[in-house]
Amino acid sequence: MRILLLNQTFYPDVAATAQQLGDLARELQSHGHEVTVVASRRAYDSPGTLFPKQENWHGIQIYRVASTGFGKGAKWKRAVDFASFLLTCFFRLLFLKRQEVVIALTSPPLISVLGALMTRIWGARFIYWVMDFNPDEAIAAGWLRAGSPAAKFLDRLSRFSLNSAHYVVALDRFMRERILAKGIASERVVVIPPWSHDDQVRFDSVARAEFRKQHGWEDKFVVMYSGNHSPCHPLDTLLQAALRLGGNASPPAASSAPSQRIHFAFIGGGSEFRKVQAFAREHRLKNITCLPYQPLDHLSGSLSSADLQVVVMGDPFVGLVHPCKIYNLLRLGLPILYLGPAVSHITDLYQNPAAHSLPPLHRFAHGDVEGVLALLERLSVSTSAARTDGAGAGLAAFQSQASCLQRFLTLLS
């Protein structure tokens, strides 16, 4: 079967959607399907980096198209980059041979419209894999005004994609409910969560020690946020905690030895990453380290180097975005600080019967700096990472790469 995958990012990009789509592409190819990918030449978080125009990777044919590279410094720059990519992508699709199945993601927003159009031209099946639900996400973030002409137009395009899809893949039950609210038949909306990188991410004590030594964290209690830095994942509470512990006007609690051990690591990219760097510079915070995305083959080392991992979700974004980092973090067995609403896909994981084997989850509402500081003070007394053994086995009971990919394959039958 000839299958086309559509997304802005793909191998060798380090964005989460590139990694997830790469796993799916290799699984499809291993089952004898002829897989083609159309993606952008520009790296997601480094538009100056260009990938080859054409490449065959593990038997998967990749076509990468040109686009502008203004970056994420302003909304108009992102809009122009998105529009130019969609335009060149559309022209490239017109010259592809007929595909039998098209799977489109959501980067950039509404690339699914191209997938829906091409399936009508080819008479193919369309699977819409909703990673971020737009324009609803943009409205929740304040980027679009609800009821505005632009919002109404984009909503019509979104509904066109949803109505054109043979299957819509939602990432959690909350996203499924939002899709159903658009009038989509329930039998066409399936939930398949993102998966952990089972063969590449694990707790690695040797790589942990090397990464900590490389960055001077040997005697630190490292609090790590690793991944996309987006307004949908507000980091204000974490940054205020860092300021309280490391600012020039530190409170008395920050003068204690445990508090001085606490160090904050922000790893990744995204539109808010530069704001984190600027915050650290402005307040001259030596207890913050900012690092770029780490390659997938080094991810175990960087993630294992933390003593406490952080997952963040903005209150309005339940069912609109789905931080998939949680699945890799659960495999590590390290304790997790969750900043976000009390009911979300994060807390749903801990309602599963297998949750007893998962690492402890410490949830705080956004703005509860005092609660976060108290937690860090308590946990930082430990001299090493407090892991929960067998976390990977507990995770496999309800979510694994193999089981999720198999569920994707059933959509093609």
Is the residue at 413 inside a domain? no
Q: Do 108 and 9 fall into the same domain? A: yes
- Domain end (from 191, 223, 255): 191
- Where does the pLDDT of residue 308 fall: very low under 50, low under 70, confident under 90, or very high at 90 and above? very high
What is the rounded average pLDDT of the residues 127-138?
96
Residue 309 lies in a domain: yes
Task: Reply yes or no on whether the pLDDT at 310 is more than 90.
Answer: yes
Same domain, 212 and 154: no
Mean pLDDT of 354-377: 92
Number of domains in the chain: 2
Please indicate, yes or no, whether residues 163 and 239 belong to a single structural domain of this protein: no
pLDDT band for 199, please (50, 70, 90 cuts): confident
State yes or no: pLDDT of 309 exceeds 70.
yes
Report how far apart, in Å, the C-alpha atoms of 182 and of each of 135, 185, 232, 371 are: 12, 9, 22, 38
For residues 288 and 365, state if they share a domain. yes
Task: Specify if 63 maps to a domain.
Answer: yes
User: Would you say residue 159 lies in a domain?
Assistant: yes
Q: Omega into 109 within 30° of 0, i.e. cis?
A: no
DSSP per-residue string spanning 343-385: SSHHHHHTTSGGGGGSPPEEEE-TT-HHHHHHHHHHHTTSSS-
What domain range is 218 assigned to?
205-396
pLDDT at site 254: 42
207-266 pLDDT per residue, tens: 999 999 999 999 999 999 999 999 999 999 999 999 999 865 444 444 455 678 999 999
Q: Is residue 290 part of a domain?
A: yes
Q: Quick one: pLDDT at residue 340? A: 98
CATH of the domain at 222: 3.40.50.2000
Q: Are residues 173 and 220 in the same domain?
A: no
- Per the prediction, the chain carries an average pLDDT of 91
Q: pLDDT at position 394, please? A: 53
Q: What is the pTM of this model?
A: 0.91
Lowest mean pLDDT among 90-99, 197-206, 328-337: 197-206
Quote the pLDDT of residue 393: 54
In this structure, the answer to whether residues 46 and 175 fall within a common structural domain is yes
**Boundary of a domain, candidates 158, 191, 224:** 191
Last residue of a domain, one of 191, 221, 239: 191
In a domain, residue 410? The reply is: no
Residue 192 has pLDDT above 50, yes or no: yes
173 and 209 in a common domain: no
